[in-house]
C-alpha cells in the first residue's frame, strides 16, 4: 500500500498574486493557508538532508521516512494533490512529446549489457498478413528507470529500507497465478512504481541550451567524466525561470544524445565496453548535490546519458546510485530522449510540463523502460 504525505499549513495567507506565485500555490485551493512543511504519514516533518541519520559512513539515510514497509521511496511525494495540480497548471495546448529512445538504441549498449534483439515474423506464413514481435532486451540497455532492486549498499549487501539482498528472489521467476506471488520475495520490485505511476510536474534543466543558445560552445565533452555542479543546475534553473516545488520530476539535458547523433557509426559502437572508457558527464558526487536534491524534494531524477551521475566517480568518492536508490528510494532515469523536449521547451518558453511514466508491470523487476511522455 502506498503511504501518502500530508500537508501542514501555516496560519498566514499571502495577500498578493505575486506573493502567491512566489509561494507556488496559484490555482490550488488551500482554504487561505500556505503550504509550509511536508510531513510523513505519522505526522513528523520530513527531515532535511543534514537531519537524516548516517548509514555507516554514508550521509543521508532516509529509511523509514515513509514507514518500515515502504517500497515506493520518493514516489510517495507524488500525491493526488501534487498530480492534480500539475495536470491543471501544465496542460495548456495538449501537445505531447515522447521521452523514450527507440529500444534499438544504443545498438551497442554500455556496461556490457545485452544487445537488443527485435524480431518481427509472419504468424501464419508469408502469404497471410499477420505479424508478431519477439523482443529480447536488458531492461537497462536503453531508456530506463533504475529500480530499487537495481542498486543497493554494495559493501553491506542491503537494498532500500534495510532489505537484505538474500531475502529477495533472483533468477527465473515464473508466476502462474496471482495467488502464488510471495510479496516478501519480490519486495522493492518495479511492480510498485508500475501500479502507482510516476506522474506529476516535470522540469527540464537544459544544460546544453544554457551554454549554446547565444552561439556559445558546450564547455565540456559529454563523453567524458565532466562534473555537473549544483551551481550549474541553479544557474540553468534561474535562466529558465524555474522554481522547484515538492514532487517535481527533474530531467537533465547533458548532451550525450546530441553528440550520439553527430558522431560516426564507429564512434557509436565504441561506446561498448572495451573500446570506450565509459566516461560520461553527469551530476557530481558531492554532499552538496545530495543536499540540493533531497532538500528540494524531487520525486525522481533523470538525464539523457547512461548513468545520470558523472561516470566513473572519482577514486574514493561514493557514487550517487547507492544514495538515491539504496538510501532514498529515488528513481534514477537514464538514456531519456529529451532532444524533442528541448525543442518544445525553447519554442514555448516553458521548461515545466505534465510528466507521465508507466513502467512495465514486472513483478519483482529491477528496472524498466520508462514509457514516458511530456504534455504541454
CATH number where 227 lies: 3.50.30.50
Name the burial class of residue 139, with classes exposed (0-12), middle (13-18) and buried (19+) by CB atoms within 10 angstroms of its CB: buried
Residue 42: predicted pLDDT: 65
Name the burial class of residue 300, with classes exposed (0-12), middle (13-18) and buried (19+) by CB atoms within 10 angstroms of its CB: buried
Residue 29: predicted pLDDT: 25
Both 26 and 168 in a single domain?
A: no
Q: Is residue 127 in a domain?
A: no
**Among 210, 230, 211, which residue's Cα sits nearest to residue 219?**
211
SS3 324: helix
Alpha helices in the chain (DSSP H): 17-22, 80-90, 191-196, 207-212, 230-240, 256-262, 265-269, 287-295, 320-321, 339-348
DSSP 132: E
d(CA 376, CA 52): 36
Residue 11: predicted pLDDT: 25
- Cell numbers found for residue 237: 534553473
Residue 170: predicted pLDDT: 85
Q: Is residue 111 in a domain?
A: no
Q: Is residue 199 in a domain?
A: yes
The arithmetic mean of pLDDT across residues 329-353, rounded, is 98
Both 30 and 64 in a single domain?
A: no
Both 53 and 41 in a single domain?
A: no
Q: Is residue 135 in a domain?
A: no
Q: Which residue has the higher pLDDT, 183 or 70?
A: 70
67-71, 110-114, 145-149, 214-218: range with lowest mean pLDDT: 110-114
231 contacts 210 by C-beta, under 8 angstroms = no
Residue 273: predicted pLDDT: 59
Residue 310: predicted pLDDT: 98
Q: Which residue has the higher pLDDT, 258 or 179?
A: 258
374 contacts 229 by C-beta, under 8 angstroms = no
The arithmetic mean of pLDDT across residues 270-283, rounded, is 78
Both 223 and 327 in a single domain?
A: yes
Distances (CA, A) of 363 to 20, 153, 185, 331, 371: 43, 22, 10, 17, 17
**Among 33, 336, 365, 328, which residue's Cα sits nearest to residue 189?**
365
Strand-pair category, 332-334 with 367-368: unpaired
22-31, 179-188, 357-366: range with lowest mean pLDDT: 22-31
The arithmetic mean of pLDDT across residues 70-81, rounded, is 97
Residue 321: predicted pLDDT: 98
Domain span at 32: 1-45
Q: Is residue 119 in a domain?
A: no
Both 28 and 66 in a single domain?
A: no
Question: Looking at the 3D structure of the chain, how many domains does it have?
Answer: 2
**Among 230, 363, 241, which residue's Cα sits nearest to residue 298?**
230
Cβ count near 260 (within 10 Å): 20
Q: Is residue 120 in a domain?
A: no
Q: Is residue 125 in a domain?
A: no
Both 36 and 58 in a single domain?
A: no
**Is it the case that residue 226 has pLDDT exceeding 80?**
yes
Residue 185: predicted pLDDT: 87
Amino acid at each position: 500500500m502506498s503511504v501518502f504525505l500530508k500537508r501542514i499549513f501555516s496560519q498566514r495567507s499571502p495577500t498578493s498574486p505575486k506573493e502567491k506565485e512566489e509561494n507556488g500555490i496559484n490555482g490550488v485551493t488551500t482554504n487561505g493557508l500556505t503550504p509550509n512543511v511536508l510531513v510523513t504519514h505519522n505526522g513528523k516533518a520530513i527531515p532535511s538532508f543534514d537531519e537524516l541519520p548516517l548509514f555507516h559512513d554514508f550521509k543521508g539515510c532516509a529509511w523509514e521516512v515513509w514507514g518500515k514497509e515502504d517500497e515506493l521511496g520518493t514516489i510517495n511525494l507524488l500525491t493526488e494533490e501534487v498530480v492534480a495540480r500539475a495536470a491543471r497548471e501544465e496542460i495548456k495546448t495538449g501537445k505531447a512529446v515522447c521521452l523514450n529512445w527507440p529500444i534499438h538504441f544504443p545498438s551497442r549498449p554500455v556496461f556490457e549489457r545485452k544487445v537488443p534483439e527485435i524480431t518481427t515474423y509472419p504468424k501464419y506464413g508469408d502469404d497471410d498478413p499477420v505479424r508478431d514481435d519477439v523482443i529480447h532486451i536488458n531492461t537497462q540497455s536503453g531508456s530506463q528507470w533504475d529500480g530499487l532492486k537495481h542498486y543497493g549498499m554494495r559493501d553491506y549487501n542491503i537494498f532500500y529500507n534495510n532489505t537484505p539482498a538474500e531475502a529477495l528472489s533472483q533468477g527465473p521467476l515464473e508466476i502462474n497465478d496471482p495467488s502464488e506471488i510471495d510479496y516478501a520475495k519480490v519486495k522493492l520490485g518495479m511492480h510498485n512504481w508500475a501500479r502507482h505511476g510516476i506522474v506529476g510536474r516535470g522540469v527540464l534543466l537544459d544544460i546544453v541550451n544554457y551554454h549554446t543558445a547565444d552561439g556559445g560552445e558546450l564547455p565540456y565533452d559529454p563523453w567524458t567524466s565532466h562534473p555537473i555542479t549544483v551551481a550549474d543546475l541553479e544557474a540553468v534553473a534561474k535562466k529558465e525561470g524555474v522554481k522547484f516545488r515538492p514532487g517535481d520530476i527533474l530531467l537533465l539535458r547533458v548532451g550525450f544524445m546530441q553528440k550520439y547523433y553527430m558522431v560516426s557509426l564507429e564512434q557509436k559502437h565504441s561506446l561498448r565496453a572495451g573500446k570506450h572508457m565509459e566516461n560520461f558527464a553527469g551530476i557530481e558526487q558531492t554532499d552538496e548535490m545530495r543536499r540540493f536534491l533531497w532538500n528540494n524534494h524531487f520525486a525522481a531524477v533523470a538525464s539523457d546519458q547512461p548513468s545520470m551521475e558523472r561516470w566513473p566517480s572519482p577514486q574514493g568518492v561514493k557514487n550517487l546510485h547507492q544514495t538515491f536508490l539504496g538510501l532514498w528510494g529515488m528513481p534514477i532515469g537514464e538514456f531519456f530522449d529529451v532532444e524533442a523536449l528541448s525543442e518544445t521547451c525553447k519554442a514555448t518558453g516553458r521548461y515545466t510540463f505534465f510528466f507521465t511514466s508507466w513502467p512495465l508491470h514486472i513483478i519483482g523487476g529491477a528496472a524498466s523502460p520508462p514509457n514516458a511522455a511530456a504534455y504541454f
